[in-house]
Amino acid sequence: MITPIGILAVNASAFVMTHLVAFRIGIAACAVVSGLVLNGLTAWWLLRLVSRQAPPLYREYRLWALGASVLIVLLTAAAGGYLTYLGGWPGSGASSLSRSRLAKKEPPAGEGLHPWTDEPRGVEPLRAPSAPPPHEWGGVFFTSCRATCRPASRSSSSPQAPR
């Protein structure tokens, strides 16, 4: 049941991304609504905090505080919607980075030649290791054993067991 809904959601988002310019007004409207709701909740929370922490000050400047918070919420929501609308034009926002990269003729990330090996980027070829990795832990392990183990005698080629 969830898989078909997920497939429909992915297809719908792919459709919106391919027709992003046509959807820019709707996306900007959603940004305005989101800004109004989120910034409005934050302003309401701050006004409640001020009314509890400084009641005499809040009573005296209540209308100014409400007016300033409404103005700030409206301006930030409108600015977010306007900037979102401007970002929907071709060649603006994130796509301007791609256009500048094309103007400089730089390959996109993951393509071109690797800077150290001059081999094509992308999937690295599977290579067999040339030598086994060194065991760095070996010396640490045996240094703790040296205090309790007897060193092997030089005349005997077989190691002696600890006492």
List pLDDT tens digits, range 123-135: 555 666 565 555 5
Task: Establish if 51 belongs to a structural domain.
Answer: yes
Task: Establish if 49 belongs to a structural domain.
Answer: yes
Which SS3 state, helix, strand or coil, does residue 120 take? Answer: strand
Band of residue 66 on the pLDDT scale cut at 50, 70, 90: very high
The helix (run of H) or strand (run of E) holding residue 16 is helix 2-18
Task: Establish if 50 belongs to a structural domain.
Answer: yes
pTM over 0.75: no
Range of the domain at 74: 21-92
Q: What b/e string do you get for 74-92 counting C-beta neighbours within 10 Å, with b at 16 or more?
A: eebbeebbeebbebbeeee
Instruction: With beta carbons less than 8 A apart as the criterion, state whether 123 and 129 touch.
Output: no
Task: Establish if 101 belongs to a structural domain.
Answer: no
Task: Establish if 160 belongs to a structural domain.
Answer: no
In the chain, the number of structural domains is: 1
Task: Establish if 44 belongs to a structural domain.
Answer: yes
Task: Establish if 39 belongs to a structural domain.
Answer: yes
Task: Establish if 119 belongs to a structural domain.
Answer: no
